[in-house]
Amino acid sequence: MRFARISHSEGASFVAIGGEPDSLIAAELSTSVFEDPKFTGRTWPLAAVQLLAPIRPSKVVCIGKNYADHAREMGGEPPADPVIFIKPSTSVIGPDATIEVPAGLGRVDYEGELAIVIGGLPVRRLKAEDASSAILGYTIANDVTAREQQKADGQWTRGKGHDTFCPLGPWIETNLDPAGLDLRTELDGELKQDGNTSDLLHGIGEILEWITAGMTLLPGDVVLTGTPAGVGPMTDGQTVSVSIEGIGTLTNKVAAV
């Protein structure tokens, strides 16, 4: 199942996406995305509506340096244990929304990532082997980063926490094995990141066990699993796309504001 959230002429709705690849249909849910889906009967051609971020997380918890090749391009070896940080809910935007770069912010990078979406129950002290019971599905994220702020502060919160710096989407794929998925990021059509989730240093279950040892994940919270090598700057007017095998493509424009 692919769950999404859309904006249409009468408001916003959670939907399931179906139909043929060239004529996708959004069918409005009467249930939450955490339940067996039931439908209102309203449908829209996907091409006629705007996708929003597919979930509204209370927080986005992120893993730093979880691919060895990215850790090395940042100038070091990957840490032995996962390192976490938080992007606030206010940083989340949806597909096709604009990544806004304030004047004077310096270099702002894309970081394409596989994102875990937590299911309908709070998750605390999860064992890695029980991870699938805690997960609703997967989507795509761009962990947009103001690189100079990240370095200046030491703490990554400010440089990664700006409004619009967490594009999510296009939808949540609930039927997906997250192992061995190609992850590619393109900037204005040029391939910049070409990784595979088989290179995650800390796997999905291990990450969720690590986080929830201390911090409860709430329904719909999102966990970003780290980015492979190839990060680099985006500038005003460029378009960034992150594609993950089995999910789809998350595309956003960049604008100086």
Q: Which residues bind a copy of itself (CB under 8 A)?
A: 58-59, 61, 64, 79, 81, 83-86, 88-91, 102, 105, 124, 146, 152-158, 161-163, 213-218
User: Closer CB to a copy of itself, residue 17 or residue 123?
Assistant: 123
Q: How far is the CB of 110 from a copy of itself (least distance, A)?
A: 17
3-state secondary structure 71-121: HHHCCCCCCCCCEEEEEEHHHEECCCCEEEECCCCCCEEECEEEEEEECCC
User: Closer CB to a copy of itself, residue 49 or residue 84?
Assistant: 84
Q: Whole-angstrom Cα distance, residue 84 to residue 160?
A: 12
Q: Whole-angstrom Cα distance, residue 200 to residue 63?
A: 10
Q: How far is the CB of 145 from a copy of itself (least distance, A)?
A: 12
Q: How far is the CB of 22 from a copy of itself (least distance, A)?
A: 38
The per-residue DSSP string of 230-242 comes to --EEE-TT-EEEE
CA dihedral 217, 206, 113, 110 (to 10 degrees): 90
User: Closer CB to a copy of itself, residue 2 or residue 160?
Assistant: 160
Q: How far is the CB of 165 from a copy of itself (least distance, A)?
A: 8
Q: How far is the CB of 218 from a copy of itself (least distance, A)?
A: 7
Q: Whole-angstrom Cα distance, residue 95 to residue 45?
A: 16
User: Closer CB to a copy of itself, residue 37 or residue 88?
Assistant: 88
Task: Collapse the DSSP code of 150 into the 3-class scheme (helix H, G, I; strand E, B; otherwise coil) and give the result.
Answer: helix
User: Closer CB to a copy of itself, residue 58 or residue 174?
Assistant: 58
Nearest to 136, CA basis, from 35, 213, 16, 17: 35
Q: Are 197 and 225 in contact (CB under 8 A)?
A: yes
